[in-house]
Amino acid sequence: MKVINRFSMFFLLAVFISACGNKALVEKEKKWIDLTYSFDSSTLYWPNNLCGFVHKTEAEGITPGGFYYSSYSFCTPEHGGTHLDAPVHFAKDHLSVDAVPLTSLTGKAIVVDVSAKALKNRDYLVSVDDLNAWEKVNGIIADSTIILFRTGYGQYYPNREKYFGSPLTGVEAIPQLHFPGISAEAAQWLVDNHKAKAIGLDTPSLDYGQSTDFKTHQILLGANIPGFENVAHLDALPLKGIYVVALPMKIGKGSGAPLRIIANIE
C-alpha cells in the first residue's frame, strides 16, 4: 500500500512538473505585437501643436573613465504619435492620465475592421451597423472589452498628407482634415450596451477629421472610457482572441500621454 502511495505521489509530481514546464513553454511562445509608433522626428501631431517631438543629446561618447555613456532629454506635446486620451481631455473633473486605473488599460480586446469602407471614404464614420455586423459573425461583444477599430489608415503613417488628408499645419489646416472616426451614435452604443474598457483606432482622432464638436470624445471620455489614438499595426491582429496592455507615461494631471501599447494573440 505504501509502495502504491509513493508511486502515485511520484506520478502526480511528474505530471505537475510536466504541466509547469509546458505552461512555461506556452508563456515563452506567446506572440506579442507592438502597436506603437516610435517617437522621433517623424512623429505626427495635431496640426496646430506648437512643437513636435524634440530629442536632445545631453551626453554621448567615451568618458574620461574609459567607458561609454549616453543620456538624452526629450520634449513632446501630450497628444501625438501613439498616445492616450485621458477622460479629463474632454470631461471636466474626470480622470487624468495618472488616475486612469490599470484595469482600463489592460484586458481582452477585439478588432472591428471597417477598412473596406473607410479606405473608399476619408470621412467615414464607424456606425452601430458596423458593430452589429461584427457581432453577427463573431458573437456578442463582452462587457469590459477593449475595442480597436481598424480603418486601414495606419498604412499611411507618418505621411501627413495621406494620414491627415492635408499636408498643411497650423490652425488653417484643421478645416482641411479628412480621415475616418467613430460616430457619436456608435460611441453612445458602446457606452450603453457594452461598458467598453477603452477604445482605440489607427487614425489621429476618435472623431473624424471634419468634426467640429468632437462629440465622440465627449461621450467616451465623459463615461471615463480612455481613448488610444494613432495605434499602429492593427492589420497584424485577428478580430478576436487578443489581450492588450496599453501603458501611458504616468503624467500627473495629464490630459494625455505617449502610450506603449502591445497585444498578445491568445
- Average pLDDT (100-120) is 98
| Mean pLDDT, the chain, whole residue set | 92
Residue 99 has pLDDT above 70, yes or no: yes
The greatest distance separating any two alpha carbons of the chain, rounded to the nearest whole angstrom, comes to 87
Residue 15 has pLDDT above 70, yes or no: no
Closest CA to 48 of 174, 170, 173: 170
Identify the band that residue 26 occupies on the pLDDT scale cut at 50, 70 and 90: very low
Q: Is the distance from CB of 245 to CB of 105 less than 8 angstroms?
A: yes
Query: Can you read off the three cell numbers belonging to residue 189?
Result: 452604443
Q: Is the distance from CB of 243 to CB of 107 less than 8 angstroms?
A: yes
Question: What's the predicted TM-score (pTM) here?
Answer: 0.88
Residue 30 vs residue 45, higher pLDDT: 45
Angle between helices 184-193 and 215-222 (to 10 degrees): 10
What is the residue extent of each domain of the chain?
A: 33-37+79-265
Residue 246 has pLDDT above 70, yes or no: yes
Q: Is the distance from CB of 222 to CB of 192 less than 8 angstroms?
A: no
How buried is 136 (Cβ within 10 angstroms: 0-12 exposed, 13-18 middle, 19+ buried)?
A: exposed
- Average pLDDT (159-182) is 97
Q: Is the distance from CB of 205 to CB of 44 less than 8 angstroms?
A: no
Report helix, strand or coil for 105: coil
Domain 33-37+79-265 in CATH 3.50.30.50:
yes
- Listing DSSP states for 17-77 in one string gives HHHHHHHHHHHHH-EEEE--PPPSTT--B-TT-S---EEEEEEEEE-TTSSEEEEEEEE--
- Give the pLDDT confidence score for residue 53 in this predicted structure: 97
- Average pLDDT (56-60) is 97
Please list, residue by residue across 91-103, b when 16 or more beta carbons sit within 10 angstroms of its beta carbon and e when fewer do.
beebbbbeebeee
Query: Can you read off the three cell numbers belonging to residue 115?
Result: 477598412
Q: In this structure, which amino acid lies at residue 209? A: G
- Give the pLDDT confidence score for residue 266 in this predicted structure: 82
> Distance (Å, rounded) from C-alpha 182 to C-alpha 185?
8
Side-chain-facing half-sphere of 201: CA atoms under 13 Å: 28
Closest CA to 231 of 166, 170, 169, 163: 163
- Give the pLDDT confidence score for residue 195 in this predicted structure: 87
Side-chain-facing half-sphere of 200: CA atoms under 13 Å: 34
Report helix, strand or coil for 234: helix
Report percent pLDDT > 90 for the chain: 87
Report percent pLDDT > 70 for the chain: 89
Query: Can you read off the three cell numbers belonging to residue 155?
Result: 498604412
Phi and psi of 109, rounded to 5°? -140, 160
